[in-house]
Chain A
Amino acid sequence: MSGPNRRVALKVVGATLGAGAFAYAAQPVAQWGAGLSLEETLRRHYKELTPDELAQILRRLEAETKEKYGVDVRIDDIPAQEGVSFGYALNLSICIGCRKCAEACHQENNHDRRTNNSYIRVIEMEQGSFELERGTVDYDHAVPAPGKFYMPVQCHQCDDAPCVKVCPVEATWKEKDGIVVVDYDWCIGCRYCEAACPYHARRFNWREPEIPADEINPDQAYLSNRIRPQGVVEKCTFCLHRTRRGLLPACLEACPTGARVFGNLLDPSSDIRWVLENKRVYVLKEELGTRPRFFYFFDE
């Protein structure tokens, strides 16, 4: 008699605990309607989307931006171009550390105004030293200061990108033209990529970006400067929404000294190729084997 009774009691306790655990685990699913539509949840990976599905997503994102920020924007999907492989070089001999590149990035890429966020960090360092750890990024004196040099750092679009390798959900990948992109709607915000990047090039959206309506750049792309949601990682895309249309990146246009050289590595007559072939070029943290597409060079 006592055996079966105990068995029943254990079954009841087990079932109750199991149901409780299931309910707890399923909580996010119950709250699903709040921030995420069914359509968003069931969609396929960016690379598997049909043109129709992608168009639907773009129109939905445009409508959401209108609702949240009160602005009409255009979000395009611009595929990579055949015969194009982007490269970027920066002349440390003439960079003056004015941070105009960081400011242009801030405006072009719809960054959060509260944090002055930008994909570019300009590091001020002692001449003759190369210790990044001893550099400062929040200097506020007139530049160029005597005895200092300036090194802007942004995403190096590595060919062997550590950030891409660590992503557990394939929310970030390398495109055919060399640009490492993030699908902000696929990112789960684990920040592994941020930790993996040796150049501190990735940023996390702790909060939803705050941008006044009249400052929003309405010319947006899905994998680039559309306004990011809270809780996802973002990074420099070499201004994909501009450069895949043949334009120069915003940071280059803003540079008053012409320290920045951008172009197609596959075009032997391009300026970037001339720099790589004729200047003293080096890559940051070469020993890590990340194979960056961002190069630094000196005049002498």
Chain B
Amino acid sequence: MILSKEHASTDVALARRVQWPPAVRITALLAPAAIALACCGSDPPRALRPPPGPPTGRIEIHQPERLTSIASDQRDALGRPLRVACVTCHSQRVPTTLPSTVTELDEFHQGLRFEHGALSCGSCHVAGDQRSLRRADGTMIDMRDAMDLCRQCHGPQTRDYDHGSHGGMTGHWDLSVGGRVRNHCVDCHDPHTPAFQPSLPVLPPRDHGITRQPSRGDH
């Protein structure tokens, strides 16, 4: 409703002429103050928590089983694929030479798929020492430091990994609160067939309005 100026001024004049009882006048004066007190309060604005401290958390690299064991075609009592530690066989059987390609594997490691460039077994492995790897410059490294081997060729991935933008992780973004566990290259990439293998996606969306149903058109 819009009151014209004339009406408004008449109302004000009328209100001035009416003599209200003192109790009403006092209440009318106090009410806005009381409402102001009740609504606004005197609470300080909610304080922010203090900023992050110096980084003290450790960044660890996950150690995949694949570095020290190999999958067998057997399953354990719980139905999980049974892995055999490298040392189980290699403590007794120490090969003196390495095959140059996987097709030459006629007794052990049969059926191993190899799709990793033009490398040969000896490019990385060391005959007679299954716990070590050989870098391109001839230096030997421990199997657990296999990432140093990957780094030789995969520069951009290494750079991205070192800046947290390649390879999964869990833990803390804020290292002043706690540490972080990074995936090892071999957690996701089989060194012998490093391409990421396709898999079926999880959790198909079921909320209406976003899935395409032919009867509903394209909305």
Contacts and interface: CB of A to CB of B under 8 A. Distances in A.
Interface of A: 44, 47-50, 78-84, 89, 91, 94, 96-100, 102-103, 106, 114-118, 121-122, 133, 136-145, 176, 200, 203, 243-248, 252-253, 255-258, 261-264, 267, 270-271, 274-275, 278-279, 297, 299
Contacts of B205: 102, 116, 118, 121, 137-138
Nearest to B175: A246
Contacts of A48: 41, 43
Contacts of A263: 164, 173
16 contacts: A47-B46, A81-B51, A82-B48, A89-B165, A98-B202, A118-B205, A137-B210, A140-B204, A247-B178, A252-B169, A255-B168, A257-B168, A257-B196, A258-B166, A258-B167, A271-B164
B147 to A, nearest CB: 14
Nearest to B181: A253
A55 to B, nearest CB: 13
A136 B212 contact: yes
Interface in B44-66: 45-52
Interface string B89-126: 00000000000000000000000000000000000000
Looking at B41, B163, B176, B203, the one whose CB has the most chain A CB atoms below 10 A away is B203
Interface residues of B, number: 47
Contacts of B51: 81-84
B174 to A, nearest CB: 4
Contacts of B167: 257-258
Nearest to B159: A278
- Which secondary structure dominates chain B's binding surface? loop
Given A176-B48, A247-B173, A264-B174, A279 B165 contact: yes
Given A103-B202, A139-B201, A262 B173 contact: yes
A140 B203 CA distance: 10
Nearest to B187: A256
B40 to A, nearest CB: 8
A243 B48 contact: no
Contact of B48 (A80, A96, A114, A138): A80
B214 interface: no
Nearest to B176: A246
Contacts of A97: 201
A267 B54 CA distance: 11
Contacts of A262: 173
Interface in B153-187: 156, 160-161, 163-174, 176-178, 180, 183
